[in-house]
């Protein structure tokens, strides 16, 4: 079986003839966790190289931090922002020797370039297209909707797959709970998102420092609709319009971290987690991998620093009570294997093929400790053809959609992909672990609604305890050609395809 390629974010393009889908600023005065800093570039160091962005991970107290900043400036770096609570600086420099110079400074743990090309735009990445819903499909769905359903809900096979339809009879979720979509931006003017949108928890983190200018969190014209689709899956309002989210009564925020070219760089991702943690967000959804490396190897000085910076941010968020949920990826890879061929890194420069050890090289944030890693299922409840998997790596599974040729839905649904919101008041189908992850984020939001004082660790424990255990089943031949396409290892209660099982929204609101 030919594997479907991994997209930039966690959605992908399906075979020809089927649907195509997306693969896919500064803190306010007084912020306790970050500070904007004016840096000075020394004339004594080279400044004729490409302008690159770096993360500098430091240790120690305020005195050490001050010395590190001075060393950064002496090495020709300009500090964009300092996340003091986690000891991470975002720095720009044109000194080709900047990283090596600062790595030897007392109090510095690691330094890494967050990209392989200059900060100037490199040209738009192709991250896929969505399949818009037609007006004929909308009318047909509305005709089938019952009195307690939104007009397009009959097309959402994914809601009953996790018992969300039954959960909504008991609870839609609490307005005191906020889910943040760390992604390509969210169109908060969409009629299905606007009623639940949380402006106070939204920002643009593309530069690595948050920008709260009104609307800065929205995708611009021509940018990916990916984040808007994800937001609708989590919390599209149950308002007699369009579709219904998994948790249609909670609030949803947009934290934009993808630049106009479609890249999710480390400084933006760190900013996203820090902003969410400091603004009362209960759950973040992360349907992407951090560019430019699909897998970041800790024994590489640059890549290791990126792993450390993002890990510090996710740990900080979790300590603040935030549950971080992430898509497992769309390469149909076994993330628990002894080795994996990485053919797409770095994706912002000269790509090469390398063999990596997934025990030492991580897809971030999804493979970081503490992050909920989500695999995707199709309409028949089987692992989606493209979904990554791995015993001991996957925590839970949820609907992400699959080719209708592989896993057709039951009527009245007609499409095996996931229907949700698109910018400009539109609706459309996408597929990928990108679409599975927000189902889990929605269930987490329902759990938090039911248990408002539960810690992040307690919420994650409930998520796995309430999941519907699913055994590996028969040998996995998703395309029916007689060849096993992936091997599921583990027992019914925990295995590489489904983790602890498929998430259960009904148990989330009644336990």
CA angle, 482 as apex, 477 and 484 as ends, to 5°?
Answer: 40
What whole-number distance in Å separates Cα of residue 219 and Cα of residue 124?
A: 14
**229 in a structural domain:** yes
Write the CB contacts of 264 (distance below 8 Å, at least 6 apart in sequence): 8, 9, 257, 258, 288, 289, 290, 291
DSSP line for 136-152: HHHHHHHHH--TTS-TT
The answer to whether the predicted template modeling score (pTM) of the entire model surpasses 0.95 is no
CA angle, 60 as apex, 56 and 66 as ends, to 5°?
Answer: 65
Query: Two tokens at 144?
Result: 């089938």
For the chain, what is the largest distance between any 2 Cα atoms, rounded to a whole number of angstroms? Answer: 73
| 118 and 91 within one domain | yes
Pairing of strands 340-345, 352-356: antiparallel
The torsion defined by the Cα of 129, 131, 132 and 134, in degrees rounded to 10, comes to: 150
**167 in a structural domain:** yes
Pairing of strands 88-93, 52-58: antiparallel
Q: What is the pLDDT of residues 347-359, one digit of tens each?
A: 998 999 999 999 9
Ranges under pLDDT 70 in the chain: 1-44, 120-130, 138, 142
Where a domain ends, among 110, 126, 142? Answer: 126
Q: How many CB atoms lie within 10 A of CB 191?
A: 13
What whole-number distance in Å separates Cα of residue 151 and Cα of residue 172?
A: 17
Q: Which residue has the tokens 């930039």?
A: 8
| 179 and 87 within one domain | no
Alpha-helical regions (H) of 98-212: 98-103, 135-144, 158-161, 164-167
Q: 381: alpha, beta or left, given left = phi > 0 and alpha = psi -120 to 50? A: left
Our count of domains for the chain comes to 2
| 141 and 112 within one domain | no
Where a domain ends, among 126, 147, 170? Answer: 126
| 119 and 142 within one domain | no
What whole-number distance in Å separates Cα of residue 23 and Cα of residue 130?
A: 9
Q: Which domain holds residue 54?
A: 28-126
What whole-number distance in Å separates Cα of residue 244 and Cα of residue 167?
A: 12
In this prediction, residue 144 carries a pLDDT of 76
In this prediction, residue 47 carries a pLDDT of 81
In this prediction, residue 259 carries a pLDDT of 95
Report CA torsion sign: 157, 401, 426, 327.
Answer: positive
What whole-number distance in Å separates Cα of residue 381 and Cα of residue 503?
A: 12
My answer on whether omega of the bond before 330 falls inside 30° of 0, hence cis, is no
| 323 and 180 within one domain | yes
What whole-number distance in Å separates Cα of residue 345 and Cα of residue 364?
A: 13
| 263 and 158 within one domain | yes
**488 in a structural domain:** no
Q: Is 102 within 8 Å of 230 (Cβ atoms)?
A: no
Give the end-to-end CA distance of the chain in Å, rounded to a whole number. Answer: 41
What whole-number distance in Å separates Cα of residue 493 and Cα of residue 245?
A: 27
In this prediction, residue 486 carries a pLDDT of 98
**232 in a structural domain:** yes
Q: Is 264 within 8 Å of 206 (Cβ atoms)?
A: no
Q: Is 51 within 8 Å of 43 (Cβ atoms)?
A: no
In this prediction, residue 46 carries a pLDDT of 82
The single-letter DSSP state of residue 13 is B
Q: 480: alpha, beta or left, given left = phi > 0 and alpha = psi -120 to 50? A: left
H or E element: which one contains 63?
helix 62-74
Q: What is the CATH number of the domain that holds 233?
A: 3.40.50.200
| 163 and 121 within one domain | no
In this prediction, residue 135 carries a pLDDT of 73
| 281 and 150 within one domain | yes
Query: Two tokens at 243?
Result: 């579709």
My answer on whether omega of the bond before 365 falls inside 30° of 0, hence cis, is yes
**499 in a structural domain:** no
| 139 and 108 within one domain | no
In this prediction, residue 44 carries a pLDDT of 66
| 112 and 156 within one domain | no
What whole-number distance in Å separates Cα of residue 334 and Cα of residue 58?
A: 34
Question: Beta partners for 180?
Answer: 253, 284
**294 in a structural domain:** yes
Where a domain ends, among 126, 156, 184? Answer: 126
| 216 and 83 within one domain | no
Query: Among residues 488, 508, 485, 483, which one has the least CA distance to residue 498?
Result: 488
What whole-number distance in Å separates Cα of residue 461 and Cα of residue 441?
A: 14
Integer-rounded Cα Rg, in Å, for the chain is 22
| 261 and 140 within one domain | yes
Q: What is the CATH number of the domain that holds 118?
A: 3.30.70
**433 in a structural domain:** yes
**312 in a structural domain:** yes
Query: Two tokens at 403?
Result: 């080719």
What whole-number distance in Å separates Cα of residue 498 and Cα of residue 398?
A: 8
């Amino acid at each position: 079986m030919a594997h479907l390629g991994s997209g930039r974010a966690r959605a992908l393009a399906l075979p020809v003839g089927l649907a195509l889908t997306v693969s896919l600023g500064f803190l306010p005065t007084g912020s306790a966790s970050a500070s904007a800093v004016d840096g000075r570039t020394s004339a004594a160091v080279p400044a004729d190289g490409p302008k690159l962005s770096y993360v500098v991970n430091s240790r120690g107290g305020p005195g050490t931090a001050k010395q590190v900043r001075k060393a950064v400036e002496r090495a020709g770096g300009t500090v964009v922002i300092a996340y003091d609570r986690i000891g991470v600086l975002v720095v720009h420099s044109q000194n080709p020797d900047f990283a090596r110079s600062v790595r030897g400074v007392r109090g510095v743990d690691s330094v890494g370039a967050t990209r392989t090309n200059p900060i100037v735009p490199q040209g738009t990445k192709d991250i896929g297209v969505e399949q818009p819903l037609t007006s004929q499909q909308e009318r047909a769905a509305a005709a089938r909707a019952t009195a307690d359903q939104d007009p397009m809900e009959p097309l959402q096979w994914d809601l009953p797959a996790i018992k969300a339809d039954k959960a909504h009879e008991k609870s839609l979720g609490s307005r005191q709970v906020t889910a943040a979509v760390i992604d390509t931006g969210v169109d908060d003017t969409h009629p299905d998102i606007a009623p639940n949108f949380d402006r106070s928890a939204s920002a643009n983190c593309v530069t690595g420092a948050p920008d709260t200018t009104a609307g800065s969190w929205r995708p611009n014209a021509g940018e990916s609709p990916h984040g808007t689709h994800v937001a609708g899956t989590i919390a599209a309002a149950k308002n007699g319009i369009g579709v219904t989210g998994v948790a249609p009564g909670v609030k949803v925020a947009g934290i934009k971290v993808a630049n106009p070219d479609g890249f999710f760089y480390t400084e933006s991702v760190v900013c996203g987690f820090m902003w969410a943690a400091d603004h009362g967000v209960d759950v973040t959804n992360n349907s992407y991998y951090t560019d430019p490396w699909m897998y970041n190897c800790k024994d590489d000085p640059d890549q290791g620093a990126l792993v450390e910076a993002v890990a510090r941010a996710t740990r900080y968020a979790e300590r603040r009570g935030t549950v971080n949920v992430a898509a497992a990826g769309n390469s149909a890879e076994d993330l628990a294997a002894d080795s994996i061929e990485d053919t797409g890194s770095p994706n912002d420069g000269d790509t090469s093929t390398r063999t990596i050890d997934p025990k030492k090289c991580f897809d971030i944030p999804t493979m970081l400790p503490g992050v909920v890693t989500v695999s995707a299922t199709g309409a028949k409840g089987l692992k989606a053809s493209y979904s990554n998997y791995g015993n001991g790596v996957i925590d839970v599974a949820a609907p992400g959609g699959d080719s209708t040729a592989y896993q057709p839905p039951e009527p009245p649904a007609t499409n095996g992909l996931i229907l949700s919101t698109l910018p400009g008041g539109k609706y459309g189908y996408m597929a990928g672990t990108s679409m599975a992850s927000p189902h889990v984020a929605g269930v987490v939001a329902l759990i938090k609604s039911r248990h408002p004082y539960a810690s992040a660790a307690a919420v994650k424990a409930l998520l796995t305890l309430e999941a519907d255990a699913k055994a590996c089943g028969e040998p996995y031949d998703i395309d029916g050609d007689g060849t096993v396409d992936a091997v599921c290892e583990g027992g019914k209660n925990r295995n590489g395809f489904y983790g602890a099982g498929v998430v259960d929204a009904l148990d989330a609101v009644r336990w």
